[in-house]
Each structure stands twice: as C-alpha cells, then as structure tokens.
Amino acid sequence: MAAATQGTAIRTGRVARTFIYLVLLLFALFYMLPLYVMLVNSVKPLSEITGGGMMNLPEIWTVEPWRKAWSEAQIGVQPTGLKPYFWNSIKMVVPAVAMSTILGALNGYVLTKWRFRGDTILFGLMLFACFIPFQIVLIPMARVLGVLGLAGSTWGLVLVHLVYGIGFTTLYFRNYYAAFPTELVRAAQIDGAGFFQIFWRILLPSSGPIAVVSIIWQFTNIWNDFLFGASFAAGNGAPMTVALNNLVQSSTGVKEYNVHFAGAILAATPTLLVYIVAGRYFVRGLMAGSVKG
Amino acid sequence: MAARAEADLRTRLQNWIPKLVLSPSLAMIFVFVYGFILFTLYLSFTDSRMLPSFGWVGLENYSKLWRLSHWEISLTNMGIFAGLYIVVCTVIGLMLAIFLDQKIRGEGVLRPLYLYPMALSFIVTGTAWKWFLDPGIGLENTMHLWGWESFSFNWIKDRNYAIYCLVLAAVWQTSGFVMAMFLAGLRGIDNEILKAAQMDGASNWNLYRRIIIPQLRPAFLSAFVILAHLAIKTFDLVIALTGGGPGRATELPATFMYSYTFTRNQMGIGAASAVIMLMTIAAIMIPYLYAELRERK
C-alpha cells in the first residue's frame, strides 16, 4: 500500500492544474452545502428562517432548537423530543453489531480454516442474502415478529439486523482470514490445540483491523436503517430515523425548520463521529465489500 | 483401549465443531432469507389482502400488477432514476478520482469531504435537500434575495422534473464513494508502463483513453453492481424527499410495494411486486457473485 499516497506518473501543465483544483474545490463545496445549510439554520430563531436567506449566518444565535429537538418536540403522542428514540437506536445498534460481528468472525474462521465440501456454495448463499431487496422479506418478517411477541420492540429489530447483517460480516472476516497463514493453524492443531483455542489465541489477536471495519459497517447500516424500523417498530419502540421522519413530516402546527435541522444533525451525529474517528477504516471497509480484497 | 476410544471421540467432535459453529448462522439465513423468499413467492399467488391468506389465485396478482398504471409509473421512474443515477455517479466518481490522483495538495482534506455523505442516513440528507430545493425557502428564494429576480427552480414541485431531484440527492450521497473505488483502482496501476508510454510521446488524453481507463474495468463493474443494487433498493430517500409525489411522479417499486402491502391492503399484489424486484436484483447479482467466487477458489 506504499503507492496509496502517491499519485499518478502523469504530468499536467499549469492551466490544467488550475482547472483541476477549481473543479475539486467546487465539488467540495457541493458536498458541504447541505451540511452547512442544516448547521447554520439549526442555530437561528424561526423568524430569521422564514424571512429567507438560508445561506446567511444567524443574526441571533440560539441553541433553543437543539434543546427542543432533543427533549420537547412532539414525535409520538407525548412531547418527548428525540431523546427516547435516540436511546432506542443505541439499544438496537449495540447488541446487533456485537452479535453479528462475533458470528461473522466465527463463520469466516470456519469457511477459511476448516473448509469442507460445499462450503463455497454455502458462502455464496450467505453472500446473496446481503443483496436481496428487503421488500421480499417484509411480510413474513412482520408475521414472525408478531408470533414471537417481538413486534414493535427493540429486540425485534435487533433480531432483524442480526439476521440481515451476518452475510456482510462473514464476507469481511472470510476475505481477511483467507490471507492468514493456514500453516500456523495446522501447526497449532498438531500441538493439540482445539477449534476455539486456535481461534482465541491465534486468529483473534490479529483480527483488530477487520473487526473495526465490520463494526463500522454494521453500525452505520443499522443506525441509518429506515425500512425495517418503519415496518416493525413504528410506535414507542421506533429508532431514531423513524422518529426524525415523524418529526419532519408532522403536519400539525407551524413547521419549525430549525428544530427539524437540529434533529437531523442529532440523528447524524453518531455515524459522523464514527466516520471522523475511524474514517480511513470506513473507506477500506466499503472497499472490501465491493472491490475484490 | 479406553484412552484410544476417547481420543477418537475427541477428533470426531473436533471435526463436528466447525459445522456446529456455522449452523446457527446458516439456519437463520435459510429461514429468514430463503424461507421468507419462498413464503412471499407463495403469497404472490394467493388472495391475501390485509393479512396473509391462502386462497390460491394463480397468476392473477401478476396480471393485475402489470395492468396498474401506478406500477407502470414506478417502473418508468426506476428506469429514469437508475439510469441517470448510475451514469452520473460513475462519471463524477471517475472524474474526481482522476483529478485527485494528480498529486493534489490537500488530498487528505478533500477525500473525507467527498465521502462523508455516505455515512449519513437518507432521512437526514432528504430533510436537508427537501428544504434546499423548496422554491419558497430554498435556493430559488435565496437567489431572489441576492438580486437574481428571474431565477426559477421549482423542480421538486413539478411532476415532470421531481424525479431529477431524487437523482441529485442520490448522486450527492454516493458519488464520493464511487470516487473512492476508482481511486483505489488508479492507485493499483503500474506507473512504469505510463512512464514508458510517455517516453514514446503519448499525450495525457491517450494515456487515459488507451491505457488507464481500460485497466479500471473491475472498478467499473463493481461500481455498476453496487449502484444498480442501491438504486433498486431506494426507499428512504423518496419518503424523506418527496413522499412519492407530486402525484405519483417519484414513486419507485420499493415505495409501491410498501404502500400496496401496508396501507392499501393489497398484500398479494405487494408480494408480486417484491418478487419482481428480487428477480431483477438476482439477474444482476448472481452472475457477478458466481464469477467472483469462482475466481477466488
């Protein structure tokens, strides 16, 4: 990966370079624009927003919209703000990410170091499961969650995200462990180490990078999910994305745009933080899911 | 003797452990993915309305589905949306990747700026875009305040143009990611070949056209597969940005399925539309996965 930081050997003239910088900067502005608009307008009083001038900095700075979005806004029946739904999302994301990553690691270990007849076909079936349009499972899933008594609950969503996340986590760990020297595993086996001992002592200590990738990938996907949340947990158990949508789409009363924006940023904060802290791994993770690793 | 039998048992157990470890995941996938697919397929041949019911009606749901103008509009919209989305994302992604690859100062700052939209929920970005595109408070209004009185931009309220607003927001979300895929491809190209071609007097344009871009074929293929798959799944963005409107101008198959199944109580038709969505994705994904897995063996 030494080449990863250096550019092409192509040489460009001064005019071309100026043009290139210009285009790159314009696109940077394009990508920043919505975030800027949201941030700036989330700290303005409503009167300033309805007066127009969405690009202007606020004349009066206020954190009131943020407070309101967090703890006062009318989302469901009660004016609870987004706070309880934020915690719903946390309670959904943490177990779902942890369980799917652990299972993915074990599956990847089996599929690379304990291969058996037909394992590629089984892996192919798991992999295809990552790409199905989820509409195809919505109806039976709603029935099953109802039968299990998990409809509308956070645990129901944990189950759903666990099931539909395993394919991706298995893919990551399988690709990563495929490059791990199998001789080490065989040597440990001859020394009498068992299945779990080998996993625990030999593979797991070097799994840090791929575990980070898997956790980030799962975290962003599950946190940002809307379809499952809206289908299976619309009431008090709703995750943050569904609550935010309810807040923004609610048709009663005056539209408080500043509160909507503060809420939108609140909903975006966890994934943005994860991205800022571990962005480089995030990119690599996305790549591992698409480009051959 | 006893010791040997015990050792035998242990090795046999050791042989079974890997399969035992894999089996819960496999069981979940078989039930919740493939079992559910079969169940939905079955429902698409029944008279299910608000709840699943099991009266067999054959292909009736499918023939009804294909006669619905609502479904036809969803498919046309999908065609426009997916086509533009895939092409524009690829073009912008490739261009930005090539530009960023020219030993750009500040690449480390620009790259994350291009990529961060991918980390956000469509519900979040839809909220921002909806507002930005709204003629009354967004871009149009701002331009008027800045003195450009005749400026008009009301696509989101216009039946004929609203679909392009979806494309704009979706391109904003993923084009940076496509850039990263192409950049990874570009960084994998051997600079020695380029230097040799340069010595032979090849122009930059020809270097890209003849040598570099042809070598990016795997990145093009991956980008296409990922983008096509994202396009067919697009749901949250429509909900947040347009709600399918104005009228039905931005309905897509995913929103069609949702509303027929859960709000219009036409579960049989909803199931039939889900089956068609699955078949479309399968037609793209299965050859791709097959090729990938065969190569890796």
The residue among A94 and B132 whose pLDDT is bigger is A94
Residue A225 pLDDT exceeds 60: yes
Altogether, the residues listed in chain B come to a count of 297
B104 vs A: CB within 8 A: yes
Q: How many C-beta atoms surround the C-beta of residue A127 within 10 A? A: 18
A142-201 confidence digits (pLDDT tens): 989 989 988 888 899 999 999 999 998 998 898 889 888 889 999 998 888 888 999 999
Residue B296 pLDDT exceeds 60: no
pLDDT of residue A1: 34
pLDDT of residue A283: 64
| Beta-carbon separation of B233 and A133 below 8 A | yes
Query: Which range (A263-267, A282-286, B12-16) has the least confidence?
Result: A282-286
pLDDT of residue B152: 78
**Which has the closest alpha carbon to B243: B263, B266, B270, B227?**
B263
| Beta-carbon separation of A136 and B40 below 8 A | yes
Partners of A31 on chain B (C-beta within 8 Å) are 113-114, 116-117, 172, 176
- Most A CBs within 10 Å, among B13, B123, B206, B222, to test the A interface: B123
| Beta-carbon separation of A244 and B127 below 8 A | yes
Partners of B260 on chain A (C-beta within 8 Å) are none
Chain B nearest-CA residue for A53: B142
Q: Judge whether A27 and A38 are in contact, CB under 8 Å.
A: no
Mean pLDDT of A70-81: 80
- Most A CBs within 10 Å, among B33, B182, B263, to test the A interface: B33
**Percent with pLDDT over 70 in chain B:** 98
Residue B5 pLDDT exceeds 80: no
Chain A nearest-CA residue for B10: A194
pLDDT of residue A288: 52
Q: Distance between CA A206 and CA A177 in Å, rounded? A: 10
| Beta-carbon separation of B204 and A283 below 8 A | no
Residue A291 pLDDT exceeds 90: no
B22 vs A: CB within 8 A: yes
pLDDT of residue A5: 47
| Beta-carbon separation of B127 and A50 below 8 A | no
Mean pLDDT of B66-73: 91
pLDDT of residue A3: 37
Residue A292 pLDDT exceeds 50: no
Mean pLDDT of B184-197: 82
A104-138 confidence digits (pLDDT tens): 999 999 999 888 888 888 998 998 888 899 999 99
pLDDT of residue A287: 57
Residue in A8, A167, A248 nearest the CB of B101: A8
- Most B CBs within 10 Å, among A131, A203, A224, to test the B interface: A131
What SS3 state is found at A278?
helix
| Beta-carbon separation of B195 and A9 below 8 A | yes
**What φ, ψ does residue B90 adopt, rounded to 5°?**
-65, -45
| Beta-carbon separation of A54 and B114 below 8 A | no
Q: How far is CA B36 from CA A29, A139, A226, B96, in A?
A: 44, 8, 20, 41
Q: Using 50, 70 and 90 to split pLDDT, how confident is the model at B133?
A: confident
Q: Looking at CA atoms only, how far is residue B160 from chain A in angstroms?
A: 23
**Which has the closest alpha carbon to A211: A76, A109, A65?**
A109
B204-242 confidence digits (pLDDT tens): 888 888 888 888 888 888 888 889 888 988 898 998 888
pLDDT of residue A2: 33
A3-55 confidence digits (pLDDT tens): 344 567 777 788 888 999 999 999 999 999 889 988 998 898 888 877 777 77
Q: Looking at CA atoms only, how far is residue B166 from chain A in angstroms?
A: 15
A158 vs B: CB within 8 A: no
> In the CATH scheme, what is the code of domain B68-296?
1.10.3720.10
Chain A nearest-CA residue for B256: A135
> In the CATH scheme, what is the code of domain A83-290?
1.10.3720.10
Q: Using 50, 70 and 90 to split pLDDT, how confident is the model at A293?
A: very low
pLDDT of residue B285: 86
A42 vs B: CB within 8 A: no
Partners of A125 on chain B (C-beta within 8 Å) are 29, 34
Q: Distance between CA B167 and CA B164 in Å, rounded? A: 5
- Most A CBs within 10 Å, among B14, B127, B221, to test the A interface: B127
Interface of B with A in 52-91 (CB under 8 A): 52
The residue among A132 and B143 whose pLDDT is bigger is A132
pLDDT of residue A64: 85
pLDDT of residue A7: 67
The residue among B179 and A13 whose pLDDT is bigger is B179
Q: Looking at CA atoms only, how far is residue A53 from chain B in angstroms?
A: 5
Q: Distance between CA A206 and CA A55 in Å, rounded? A: 48
Interface of A with B in 214-253 (CB under 8 A): 220, 223-224, 226-227, 230-231, 241, 244-245, 248-249
Mean pLDDT across chain B, nearest whole number?
A: 87
| Beta-carbon separation of A37 and B128 below 8 A | yes
Q: Distance between CA A119 and CA A113 in Å, rounded? A: 11
Q: Looking at CA atoms only, how far is residue A99 from chain B in angstroms?
A: 11
B254 vs A: CB within 8 A: yes
- Most A CBs within 10 Å, among B131, B144, B168, B183, to test the A interface: B131
Partners of A49 on chain B (C-beta within 8 Å) are 137
| Beta-carbon separation of B281 and A131 below 8 A | yes
Q: Using 50, 70 and 90 to split pLDDT, how confident is the model at B66?
A: very high
